[in-house]
Chains A and B, each alone.
Chain A
Amino acid sequence: MTDASLQGAVLPAAKEPGDAVLDFLRLAITKEVADAVILPMKVPSGDSYAWILMNDLSLLDDAVPIAATMAVQGAKALRSLTRRGPGNLTVIAVMRPCEIRAAIELTKLGQVHPDNLILATYDCPGAVQLQKYVDDPTGCEEHFAGMQQSGKPDDSAKPVCQICEDFSLFDSDIHFGYLGLSEKEVLVIPGSSRGSELLEKLGLTPARDLEGWEKGIDQLKADRVKARESAFEETEGQLRGFDGLLSVFANCIGCHNCQSACPICYCRLCYFDSETAEQNPDALITTASKRGGISLPEDRIMFHTGRMAHMSLSCVSCGQCSDACPVSIPVAGVFSFVADRTQRTFEYVAGRNDGDPLPLRQFRKSELPGVHELVKDADAEVPSHE
């Protein structure tokens, strides 16, 4: 996590932690350290949030840096801002850790250019499921306030939030820590040299030891690790074999919403939406007559399995796929579980470190034993070319 020498600057929070974040951003804009910020703001109808790129101080009053729900994954907002290359102006983005982690993955994929972005995160207590929030914004705000106080996601939160281990400090430029602190204060922790420079320019001195805060975070983390293990066990049980896979995705309507909501699926044309994936009627009728019948639209299982193979190495378990599913398939639970396994294969954790190259962009000459030795010793007998 952090090194022992790391310290944080203390900011008072008038009512809730978000207030301190807003004060920080006001200071950054007033002192012209940042040209603009990206923050969530309530939509006019009041039942959701949208990302707003702003530099108007009066607009900041209406922004909610730590929003109860996550309508659009923040990495998508950063992508639409910088996909054509880095801008010249400095922008501070305050987002959930999973959003910043997705942005780090998109950076590696050439979709986000972070050169003049300052990525800030906060202790995330979890995000309320989008559908629940839209149905009852007021009730969900209360739920979220409770979650912020306890640091524990309740039933209104996304299931993947309950098993998230990366809800606090990692590789961002600035981190706002508040979970587990008793007083109304927020720690501003620089996570990179860029972050330290920013604090210096704002006249904030990181002088507070992080020990107390870290202890609180570790405790919360322990709970989530436990929940994660049992959730994975349950998912694994549901998925056993081809029949299990079929039953989990049985009611998929093939809308591909999970893919459009996914921050990692950036391809302009997904293979599964392309003409190549389309089959002509005769081929389908042949398949149908061999099996007795075939469900249409075809290839729903292939879509999900293919997506697991294509994007799970960069999956940050943000849960947007589940929020987007109109038929309540636990997409995120399955993807999170599979991603954990595939990332483990390459000792990679998506979004945790911007210095780690994507597993598919590199290789070692000797690795992955067992992957190509299924036939008894067939490979071992051959003179080695390695």
Chain B
Amino acid sequence: MKKEFTPRITSFLCKWCTYTGADLAGTARLQYPVSIIPIQVMCSSRVDPVFLIKAFLSGSDGVLIGGCHPGDCHYETGNYHARRRFAIVKSVFESLGLESDRLKLSWISASEGPKFARVANEYTEEIMKLGENPTRKSIFL
């Protein structure tokens, strides 16, 4: 029997908003897929473009950055910078013809447990449609 495809979504979640939101989703017993692999970062702006590229080339089927809503950043402007950095990687992916849909940035606050669960579910569905990351099987990196 063929094993069902479970995507791996490396998720960089900001400590103050999205990670806490994920925590809330858990304590509220909301269901979200096991595909989300959370990594806590102090701020979404901590995520260097290379984090995304490394996760992608290491075979993550999706990469998610979760940060505070614009205007709500714990460090005031970190998420605005995160958005610019994310846009660069998006643009690099698009020009190289790589699947930029495998990268996602979402604003989820600490009180938005349900939103976290919904984003996790919907993003997993989208990644399921995209299928396995082609880099997973590549030996030339």
Contact = CB atoms under 8 A, between A and B. Distances in A.
Contacts, number: 156
A286 B141 CA distance: 15
Interface centre among B71, B83, B95, B119 (most CB of A within 10 A): B95
A345 B91 contact: yes
Nearest to A292: B139
Interface stretch (A124-132, A172-180, A216-224, A366-374): A366-374
A301 B119 contact: no
Contacts of A360: 81, 84-85, 88
A252 to B, nearest CB: 10
Nearest to B81: A363
A310 B83 contact: no
Contacts of B59: 290
A268 interface: no
Contact of B95 (A300, A338, A378, A382): A338
B115 interface: yes
A55 to B, nearest CB: 42
B141 A300 contact: yes
Contact of A308 (B58, B69, B92): B92
A239 B95 contact: yes
B23 interface: no
A81 interface: no
Interface in B104-132: 104-107, 109, 112, 115, 118-119, 122-123, 126
Contact of A374 (B83, B104, B107): B104
B141 A294 contact: yes
Contact of A378 (B57, B119, B137): B119
A143 B138 CA distance: 44
Interface string A284-314: 0001101111110011111001101110110
Given A295-B140, A300-B141, 12 more contacts: A241-B96, A287-B58, A302-B53, A338-B95, A341-B92, A360-B84, A364-B80, A365-B71, A368-B83, A385-B109, A386-B69, A386-B71
Interface of A: 236, 239-246, 250, 271, 287-288, 290-295, 298-302, 305-306, 308-310, 312-313, 337-338, 341-342, 344-346, 359-360, 363-368, 371-372, 374-376, 378-379, 382, 385-386
20 contacts: A241-B134, A271-B50, A291-B137, A292-B139, A293-B139, A295-B141, A305-B92, A306-B49, A309-B50, A309-B53, A310-B49, A310-B50, A342-B92, A345-B90, A346-B87, A360-B81, A375-B126, A376-B122, A379-B107, A382-B107
